[in-house]
Amino acid sequence: MSKPPTHRRRAASPGAAVKVAAAGAVLLALLLVPAPLLPPHRLAEVVQSLLGVGWQAAYLAAAIGLHLVFYGGIGMLAAFAVNPAPTLRGRLLQMGVVPLVVVGVALAIRVAKLGHLPMWINAAVPIGACLLGVILGLGLRYRRWTAVALIPLGLICVSLWALLGGASGDLSRATAERLQRLVAVGPQLPSGDARFAALLQTAFAPMPGDASAGDPVEHNRAAILALGIALGQERLARLVGLDPYGELVRAAAGLRAGTTLRGRGDWTQHYALSAGLAVLEHPLVSDAGGLMKEEMDALARGSGFSFGDLAADRAGVRFAIAATGSEAAAEAMQARLLRGYAIDDFFPPAADLPENLTPERFRIVFGGVGSPLYRQVIQEIEARLDRCAALSSPQSRP
């Protein structure tokens, strides 16, 4: 009488072990994965070479591919962490609920790391990839192919290896080295626009024992991130693995006082922060983030919508693209800054652009974002940026 239950317990134990292992692997992978999940520079270069497309398209394809592999693997693995449903309705319910649970946990971990929710467009691909992974994983599970759980685990491990120890380099260390250099020269620097010029040249100058030595693109990425932290927003440090409340970052943020771009301290912050975001995320996302901030300023604090601020955002994004587009473009930017600095090469005149527009004034004058008059001002900004030699380098990304 007692043998059947014992037999059932023995048969069930391997399944229980698989479920626990799968759930633990999903949670560990979500904890370890960087936030935001971005492709290494080398991976984007490989995609660009294979597809023969421009850099922005290659980077976007690499980012989407990485999300599909990682979150698809997460979804497949999560499917092995639940009990198989005995009915079709139960299986369909699992296919809908399991991805939402996994994505919810991923969002909670991301918010804990970064302190804010991602834009919805950044969550669309992970949700879709996770959904497909769960459907595939449950399909395999119902066919009792439990050993297939090793496949998504392998995909996740490969993704984490590429992100944490692969070809991306030690960007965190290189950024910290430039922050240390900026802090060291800070007391000797003048104020105003000359201070911005000196900090820009110092960040891009060659460094002995540089963690990014031999890779001009990584060198420039680290320089831009250091400027983004020091002159833009210290919370950017968290995205590269540095403590935003640490002594080094706080000292670097102190350089912000007295630093101006065409006489404006706020334009310095817009320029540097947008450039820093652009080397971490796709340029289209950085543009949307700059516009979103302007709209929030107008609605929340009453500071008003500023086309001048938007010009600084766009200039920062363009500067980052021109400085990190390829090894040739990166070396050209370094050589330009070694020869000297001319503000007209990096940021056009913008004092005449409309700013401090309240929501009511904005609607009266422009009618809304995307109106003909709004697009006219944006086209004027882009035309001015086109005339900035450092932002329209022929050696930048195609």
Q: Do 150 and 183 fall into the same domain?
A: no
Establish if 15 belongs to a structural domain.
Answer: yes
Residue 157, pLDDT above cutoff 60:
no
Overall average pLDDT of the 71-89 stretch: 80
Task: Give the pLDDT score at 143.
Answer: 66
Q: How far apart are CA 270 and CA 46, in angstroms?
A: 32
Q: Do 231 and 302 fall into the same domain?
A: yes
Establish if 332 belongs to a structural domain.
Answer: yes
Task: Give the pLDDT score at 252.
Answer: 96
Q: What is the DSSP track for 228-271?
A: IIIII-GGGGGGGT--TTSHHHHHHHGGGTTB-BTTBHHHHHHH
Task: Give the pLDDT score at 19.
Answer: 79
Q: What is the DSSP track for 69-126?
A: HHHHHHHHHHHTTSPPPSSHHHHHHHHHHHHHHHHHHHHHHHHHHHSSPPPHHHHHHH
Task: Give the pLDDT score at 226.
Answer: 96
Higher pLDDT, 300 or 358: 358
Overall average pLDDT of the 24-38 stretch: 75
Residue 351, pLDDT above cutoff 90:
yes
Task: Give the pLDDT score at 87.
Answer: 80
Q: Do 184 and 325 fall into the same domain?
A: yes
Task: Give the pLDDT score at 166.
Answer: 42
Question: Which domain, by its residues, includes 357?
Answer: 171-391
Residue 301, pLDDT above cutoff 60:
no
Q: pLDDT band at 298, cuts 50/70/90?
A: very low
Q: pLDDT band at 69, cuts 50/70/90?
A: confident
Higher pLDDT, 31 or 248: 248
Establish if 328 belongs to a structural domain.
Answer: yes
305 DSSP β-pair partners: 357
Overall average pLDDT of the 220-248 stretch: 89
| Model pLDDT for residues 251-296, shown as the tens digit of each residue | 999 999 999 999 999 999 999 988 988 887 654 444 545 444 544 4
HSE, CB side, 13 Å, CA atoms: give it for residue 42: 8
| Model pLDDT for residues 140-151, shown as the tens digit of each residue | 766 655 544 455
Q: Do 158 and 175 fall into the same domain?
A: no
Q: Do 187 and 151 fall into the same domain?
A: no
Q: pLDDT band at 241, cuts 50/70/90?
A: confident
Q: Residue 137 contacts by C-beta under 8 Å, 6 or more apart in sequence? A: 75, 76, 77, 78, 79, 80, 148, 149, 152
Residue 196, pLDDT above cutoff 90:
yes
* Among 86-100, 263-277, 353-367, the range of highest mean pLDDT: 263-277
Establish if 44 belongs to a structural domain.
Answer: yes
Task: Give the pLDDT score at 33.
Answer: 73
Total domain count for the chain? 2
Overall average pLDDT of the 62-75 stretch: 81
Task: Give the pLDDT score at 156.
Answer: 54
Q: Do 75 and 182 fall into the same domain?
A: no
Residue 55, pLDDT above cutoff 60:
yes
Establish if 397 belongs to a structural domain.
Answer: no
Establish if 82 belongs to a structural domain.
Answer: yes
Q: Do 63 and 183 fall into the same domain?
A: no
Establish if 396 belongs to a structural domain.
Answer: no
Task: Give the pLDDT score at 84.
Answer: 75
Q: How far apart are CA 82 and CA 141, in angstroms?
A: 10
Q: Do 158 and 193 fall into the same domain?
A: no
Percent of all residues in the chain with a pLDDT value above 70, rounded to a whole number: 74
Q: Do 247 and 361 fall into the same domain?
A: yes
Global pTM reads 0.67
Residue 202, pLDDT above cutoff 90:
yes
HSE, CB side, 13 Å, CA atoms: give it for residue 278: 30
Task: Give the pLDDT score at 9.
Answer: 45
Residue 169, pLDDT above cutoff 70:
no
Residue 109, pLDDT above cutoff 90:
no
Task: Give the pLDDT score at 299.
Answer: 38
Percent of all residues in the chain with a pLDDT value above 90, rounded to a whole number: 30
Establish if 98 belongs to a structural domain.
Answer: yes
For residue 302, what are its two tokens? Answer: 């009453």
Q: Do 327 and 247 fall into the same domain?
A: yes
Q: How far apart are CA 245 and CA 238, in angstroms?
A: 9
For residue 134, what are its two tokens? Answer: 């769960």
- Is residue 35 within 8 Å of residue 115, measured between CB atoms? no
259 burial (CB, 10 Å; 0-12 / 13-18 / 19+) is: buried
Overall average pLDDT of the 48-63 stretch: 77
Overall average pLDDT of the 345-351 stretch: 96
Residue that is last in its domain, among 130, 164, 198: 164
Q: Do 160 and 190 fall into the same domain?
A: no
Residue that is last in its domain, among 164, 197, 232: 164
Q: Do 150 and 193 fall into the same domain?
A: no
Higher pLDDT, 199 or 301: 199
Task: Give the pLDDT score at 257.
Answer: 93
Task: Give the pLDDT score at 195.
Answer: 96
Q: How far apart are CA 257 and CA 111, in angstroms?
A: 29
Residue that is last in its domain, among 135, 164, 193: 164
For residue 34, what are its two tokens? Answer: 């960087």
**What integer best gives the mean pLDDT of the chain?**
78
Overall average pLDDT of the 23-45 stretch: 74
Overall average pLDDT of the 223-245 stretch: 88
